[in-house]
Amino acid sequence: MSSSPSETDAAVENETQAQSHPLQGYAGAVAEAVGGTAGIQFDTIKIKIPNDTWVDAHITARDEFGLVHFSWLSAIDWSNEVEVGDALSDEVEERLELLTTVGDISEGRRVTFSTDLDHATPVIPTLIDVYAGANWHEREAHEMFGIDFLGHPNLAHLYLPDGFLGHPLRKSFPLLTREVKPWPGKVDVEAMPEKATAEEPSTENPEA
């Protein structure tokens, strides 16, 4: 699932903004140094890197670009079949996308790194030696998405009770309270009263 070498030269895909985005130069420089592809959406720089350079890319970002602040790590489950919420409009390649956001603490720059992991057996080396703060975020991603972080000292559950089965933030994990009791929120919006009366004139209940 890693990007092919031809894509890794600092090609900046500017997705929504005009060609001369103020962050474009910076995004291109970081992407070139870590061997990834940069995309900018609004003011979020997302750099896609192959998963075998995951740790090295973060070391480069920290040491060469001063991105010393570890903001967060999490994942997105790209699935075509979902148990909760709406399915995606278009078919996607099924994968887990692992994301981190790191920033610097003087200029306020931030970069989001992303890599794709195999849906069935997601494995990636831990970032603890680069950013100490990755510890809890990786535990959370392990418990919520089932991602294995190689070299992590303690992948015990953070939130859920011991022995909990399944990974709740995966799209294949049903939201059980909604299975038991349908909720009139997003799932099925009731018809507006005027519409209901217009379709069925008040013949059903004449004495009312």
Partner 1 sequence: MAIDTDVIRHLSEAQVSVELQTEDMTLNIGPQHPSTHGVLRLVAQIDGERAHDVQPVIGYMHRGYEKLSEVRTYPQITTIVNRIDWVSGYANEIPFIVAAEKLMELEVPPRAQYIRLVLTEMARISSHLIFMASYPLELGAATPLFFALRERERVLDLLESVTGGRFHPNFNRIGGVKPVAGAGSTQKKVGQDLPVDFLPETMDAMDRVSKVCDELEDLVAGNEIILARTRGVGVFPIEVAASYGLSGPNLRASGAAFDLRKIENYLPYDDFEFNVITGTNGDCWDRWHCRLQEIRESAKIIQQAIDGIPSGDLQAKVPKVIKVPAGETYVRAENPKGEMGYYLVSDGKDGPYRLKIRSASFSNLSILPWALEGVLVPDIIAIMGSLDFVLGDVDR
List residues near partner 1 by CB under 8 A.
15-16, 41-44, 46, 68-72, 74, 76-77, 84-86, 88-89, 99, 101, 105-106, 108, 110, 112, 131-133, 135-136, 144, 157-160, 168-169, 173, 175, 178, 183, 185-187
Cα dihedral: 72, 21, 30, 75 (round 10): 30
Q: Report, in Å, the least distance between residue 101 CB and partner 1.
A: 6
Q: Report, in Å, the least distance between residue 207 CB and partner 1.
A: 36
Q: Report, in Å, the least distance between residue 5 CB and partner 1.
A: 25
DSSP lists the bridge partners of residue 14 as: 40
Which residue, 52 or 179, is less far from partner 1 as judged by CB? 179
Which residue, 50 or 131, is less far from partner 1 as judged by CB? 131
Q: Report, in Å, the least distance between residue 179 CB and partner 1.
A: 11
Which residue, 11 or 84, is less far from partner 1 as judged by CB? 84
What are the contacts of 123-126 at 24+ separation with CB within 8 A?
123/147, 123/148, 123/150, 124/51, 124/54, 124/98, 124/148, 124/149, 124/150, 125/54, 125/55, 125/149, 125/150, 125/151, 126/55, 126/150, 126/151, 126/152
